[in-house]
Amino acid sequence: MKRILILPVVVLIFLLAASAVAEQALVDIHCDEQGYSTKMPAGKATTFQTGNGLRIWLDEPGYVPNVLIWVRSEDLEDPAVYVRDEYTDYMKKQYGTKLIGTTQYEYYDIGGKRLLGAAYIYKSSSGSNINQLHLYEIRGGEPDVEYNARYLNSERETTLAALDAAVRYYTPDNSSAGSQALETVHCAEQGFSTRMPAGKSATFQENNGLRIWLDEPGYVPNILIWRRKTDVSDPSAYIRDDYTGRMREAYGSRLVGTTHYEYYDTGGKRLFGAAYIYKGASGSTINQLHLYEVRDDQDVEYDARYVNSEREITMAALDTAVRYYTPDTAGSGGTNGSSSAAGSATTGTRELKLTSSTPIVSRTTSVSDKRFSMKVPANWKVMTASEFMTFCIKVWDPASPNRTIFMALKMEPFLKSQAAKSLYQQLVAGGAYLYRYYADALVMKSCTLAGFLDAIPDALEYAAKYADSGVTITPKVFPDIHQASILEKKPSSLPCPASCRENVIARINFKDSAGQACEGLVTAQPTDELQYYMNGVDTWGYTVHMFMGVTCPMGELAELEPVLTECLSSFSFTRSYVSAAADLTYSQTQALLDYGNQMQAAHDAMVSAWSARQTSYDISSQKMSDAILGYDRLYDPETGEVYRAETGFYDSYNLHRQEYSNSNLQLIDSSSQKYYLESVDYYITK
């Protein structure tokens, strides 16, 4: 049961390079009109569009997904400015308010090359969210090239795999470069093979590994591959601490730069990695990229060394080495590193005990009263608190209370410093009891979303103490957020007060008060509106506007985000409620109208941020959820179906897979992590 996620809420990726897809058959293609050749997936159609370029249709001609390639008649003096400003302006004019998201990249790595690029999200005429990735290749000595890829979220992997091929194999007719021929190289000493550019040499270095020399042996650029004798328990920590420590010892003050990656995508795999810059003995600046591949058979490390001018050919060779790495004997691991006995000639008749997965939210319903109307998941509870400018609402699943939709229009007071709090406490101690609400108020460490999230656990206690007095709201309407950490955040296009200090949408991990691991997508607008000094201390407080979002137990966000976001965006105040606000003041009435009208804008901002998320967090969320609940995630490489089974099932299944009618199931590992981005189709029961 596959779903197309078209209405997401708050998360980003940043768009990732398209390497997570198994290779597909490619065919050569030639563009007579612009004089170049490249490769595309077999069985697809192309059209040359005058004034545009060659369009590769990955589905039916005229529809997304598709890839566009065009050769520029004149190179640009400053391509980075063109991509950042001119092309973005063109997209704004083309789509107007339908353009709901823009992400600029300093560089975008694909096809073994580093290109300039930007990503856009716009609404099509049918209302679908279309992703567009625009890339610019500076070729030097040949006309520059631009590429476009358009796709829905569900088509991302196949589209970026096709784009990778188009970029990698692009060759002008008058170019001597051509696509790089490859040849197989075998390392007998460590028992593996891979591929390298034809005509290059390789040397096995004892206590090191197989070194592929891309120029003269003994010099950069080169690629090093070695198969570890013992795996490390925490590859990320190993790269960050142990290996970086070695680099510091080896190069001392000559090590002039270090960058750690949470993940590095190359060769169709997601690896741990770090990059270093050091001064060579001759004074040259050397780049070194160090990567670690976690495998079921035996982990592998890779090194790529090069000077800046050699980066492209080195990264292409590294991509090839990683992509085609194959151990001679993988034991139960198979040649791709996944536990496998698939493809055996015989299969049994034993059937798996399967239960089809069902969506967490199968339908929604409308709720309303004299104040508001909103669409909510069926059978979920709804509660509200306060009125008008401080109105709050929380919607939650009684079967799993951390599944929530929430919104609070305005929350205060939050003091700016401990000095201000101490001053109020002194006033109360001196008999000025009126100030007790401020003496007990929370201190926000900074006027940021992170500062506000850190204050929420104490805000629950404050609300419990003063809710009955009318100073604040009942704590029951707050999401149960403790120990929140921001995984990533994106700028929000949601209108905000001029005094707002940070207007972002963030993906967070947190724990509830009982310690359950949860995740969510949230936004808030912390403001510093005024200053009021007493004894040299600013005693005025921060105010937080438009705190809203969705939360759920760890591992559920990818499924719940689209439907919960859509529910959140459906909220609106009734005319009679807004009219009732007129009995207060004009400013409050107008503010209430503004809040109500911002819900669709909030939804669009969240959609943009979610679509630009780093899907690595989706993968880690699913892994954490499986670990907490005691499950293994499996997949069928022939059908693409995803299964979840209790931990321990796979060990028994793998020993007796020949007895099963379906003997193809594999454990999802580092080489097949893309399946964590798919919804579970079946649950296997014992």
pLDDT tens per residue, range 200-247:
999 998 778 999 999 988 899 999 999 998 888 888 889 999 999 999
Of the three residues 560, 584, 612, the one that is the final residue of a domain is 612
Task: Find the mean pLDDT for residues 45-69.
Answer: 90
Has residue 450 been placed in a domain? Answer: yes
Over residues 471-484, the pLDDT tens digits come to 666 778 888 999 99
Has residue 129 been placed in a domain? Answer: yes
Q: Which long-range contacts (CB under 8 A, 24 or more apart) does 624-631 make?
A: 624/517, 624/554, 624/555, 625/517, 625/553, 625/554, 625/555, 625/556, 626/555, 628/517, 628/554, 628/555, 629/555
Neighbour-count burial of 236, counting CB atoms closer than 10 A to its CB (0-12 exposed, 13-18 middle, 19+ buried) = middle
Q: What pLDDT does residue 587 have?
A: 47
Residue 680 DSSP symbol: P
156 and 87 within one domain: yes
Task: Find the mean pLDDT for residues 126-136.
Answer: 87
How many other β-carbons are positioned within 10 Å of the β-carbon of residue 466? Answer: 16
Of the three residues 137, 172, 207, the one that is the final residue of a domain is 172
308 and 214 within one domain: yes
Over residues 636-645, the pLDDT tens digits come to 988 889 998 8
Strand duo 682-684 + 209-213: pairing: unpaired
Nearest to 504 by CA among 534, 466, 546, 464: 546
Over residues 495-524, the pLDDT tens digits come to 777 888 998 889 999 999 888 899 999 999
User: What are φ and ψ of residue 4, in 5° steps?
Assistant: -95, 115
416 and 312 within one domain: no
Mean pLDDT, rounded, of the chain: 82
236 and 166 within one domain: no
Pull the structure tokens for residue 605: 């901002």
Q: What pLDDT does residue 159 have?
A: 92
152 and 200 within one domain: no
519 and 404 within one domain: yes
What is the H or E stretch that residue 104 is in? strand 99-110
413 and 311 within one domain: no
Has residue 659 been placed in a domain? Answer: no
Please state, in angstroms and rounded to a whole number, the distance separating the CA atoms of residues 568 and 195: 51
Please state, in angstroms and rounded to a whole number, the distance separating the CA atoms of residues 14 and 16: 6
Question: Residues with Cβ < 8 Å from 320, sequence gap 6 or more?
Answer: 182, 194, 195, 196, 197, 267
Q: Is the Cα dihedral 554, 555, 556, 562 positive or negative?
A: positive
pTM strictly above 0.75: no
The SS3 call for residue 656 is coil
Contact 285, 294 (CB under 8 A): no
Residue 253 DSSP symbol: G
How many other β-carbons are positioned within 10 Å of the β-carbon of residue 662? Answer: 19
Has residue 485 been placed in a domain? Answer: yes
Q: What pLDDT does residue 334 have?
A: 35
Q: Is the Cα dihedral 110, 614, 324, 161 positive or negative?
A: negative
How many other β-carbons are positioned within 10 Å of the β-carbon of residue 509? Answer: 19
Over residues 583-633, the pLDDT tens digits come to 444 444 455 455 555 555 666 666 666 666 777 778 888 887 787 777 889
Has residue 366 been placed in a domain? Answer: no
Question: For the chain, what is the domain count?
Answer: 3
pLDDT of residue 106 exceeding 80: no
**Of all residues in the chain, what percent carry a pLDDT higher than 70?**
86
Of the three residues 597, 612, 627, the one that is the final residue of a domain is 612
Please state, in angstroms and rounded to a whole number, the distance separating the CA atoms of residues 520 and 610: 11
pLDDT of residue 545 exceeding 50: yes
Characterise 375 by phi-psi region: left (phi > 0), alpha (psi -120 to 50), beta (else): beta
Has residue 661 been placed in a domain? Answer: no
The SS3 call for residue 468 is helix
Contact 573, 563 (CB under 8 A): no
212 and 142 within one domain: no
Residue 226 DSSP symbol: E
Task: Find the mean pLDDT for residues 279-308.
Answer: 90
Contact 621, 519 (CB under 8 A): yes
The SS3 call for residue 623 is helix
Among the residue ranges 218-222, 459-463, 517-521, 532-536, the one predicted with the least confidence is 459-463
pLDDT of residue 137 exceeding 60: yes
Please state, in angstroms and rounded to a whole number, the distance separating the CA atoms of residues 204 and 212: 9
Has residue 413 been placed in a domain? Answer: yes
557 and 473 within one domain: yes
The residue written with tokens 């040499």 in the block is 201
Has residue 432 been placed in a domain? Answer: yes
Residue 538, domain extent: 386-612
Q: What pLDDT does residue 431 have?
A: 81
Task: Find the mean pLDDT for residues 303-320.
Answer: 90
110 and 156 within one domain: yes
130 and 246 within one domain: no
The residue written with tokens 């990320």 in the block is 236
Q: Tell me, what CATH number does 214's domain have?
A: 3.40.1000.10
201 and 164 within one domain: no
